[in-house]
Amino acid sequence: MTYELRDISGSVVVITGATAGMGAATARELVHMGAKVVLNARNESRLEELVLELGFENAVFVAGDCADPQIARLIAAEANERFGTIDAIVANAGIGMYGSILDFSDDEVNRMMRTNFEGTVHVIRASLPTMLEKGEGDVIIVSSVAGFRSGADEAIYAGTKHAQVGLAGGLDRELRQKGVRVALVCPAGTETEFAIGTGRTAGDPALSDYLRPEDVAFQITTILRQPRSVRTHIWTLWSMNQQS
């Protein structure tokens, strides 16, 4: 008998950082599987384009900074109003800046710390009550392999990723007996617009050796499709050409 994966058609999934890269790839894959998606990012015009592509019956968006608790609550409210529930949250919003701890301005550093950690915390806090009321759901935090080890050019960025790892560990212990699974998806470098101009260069041939956004989207949808009797907590991803 083959292993039975869950049918997630009709599931409602909130995705932050949804306009490009891993977030957009995940949204496309979920809609392909029949799920409904609630999309968040700062860029309203790109959100509108993605919803148009995915179909108004399948997707809705809330533009804004998910590190703002009010925006996070608006995202959850829109999910419940438009689709009636929340089945999963993919906390994917993130900013990358590579270089010395001294290379960037106070505002840039604070924006990265707020987006990567506070954006994760607040969107989970806003979405979680709906899942707890049902006694079922999934929290997926898109972190990074930098959450387990830091390179010399990523101290602050890696600190935000370590924070996500710590958050996920505590949430797993808090929520697993309440029916909510918590998983960390930790990719190595992925060929997206992430950190372009802040440590990475568009068109760099090295990017061709990186993971693809669709690789990460596959892991996220695999987590969601696992039987509810199973939870897996830490997923690390590397391309065949990346050193672990």
Average pLDDT value over all residues in the chain: 93
Q: Is residue 7 part of a domain?
A: no
Q: Is residue 6 part of a domain?
A: no
Q: Is residue 109 part of a domain?
A: yes
Q: Is residue 243 part of a domain?
A: no
Domain interval for residue 19:
12-237
pLDDT digit string, tens, across residues 96-131: 888 999 999 999 999 999 999 999 999 999 999 999
Strand 88-91 vs strand 59-63: parallel, antiparallel, or unpaired? unpaired
Q: Is residue 20 part of a domain?
A: yes
Angle, nearest 10°, between helix axes 213-225 and 21-32? Answer: 50
- Is the confidence at residue 198, as pLDDT, over 70? no
pLDDT digit string, tens, across residues 27-76: 999 999 999 999 999 999 999 999 999 999 999 999 999 999 999 999 99
Which residue in 16, 22, 87 sits closest to 220, CA to CA? Answer: 22
Indicate the number of domains in the chain: 1
Q: Is residue 41 part of a domain?
A: yes
**What letter represents residue 144's amino acid?**
S
The C-alpha atoms of residue 43 and residue 28 are separated, in whole angstroms, by 18
The C-alpha atoms of residue 172 and residue 66 are separated, in whole angstroms, by 22
Q: Is residue 121 part of a domain?
A: yes
Residues annotated as catalytic (active site), given as ranges: 157
pLDDT reported for residue 195? 52
Q: Is residue 230 part of a domain?
A: yes
Strand 180-187 vs strand 137-142: parallel, antiparallel, or unpaired? parallel
Mean pLDDT, rounded, for 151-157: 91
Mean pLDDT, rounded, for 208-216: 89
Q: Residue 49 maps to which CATH number?
A: 3.40.50.720
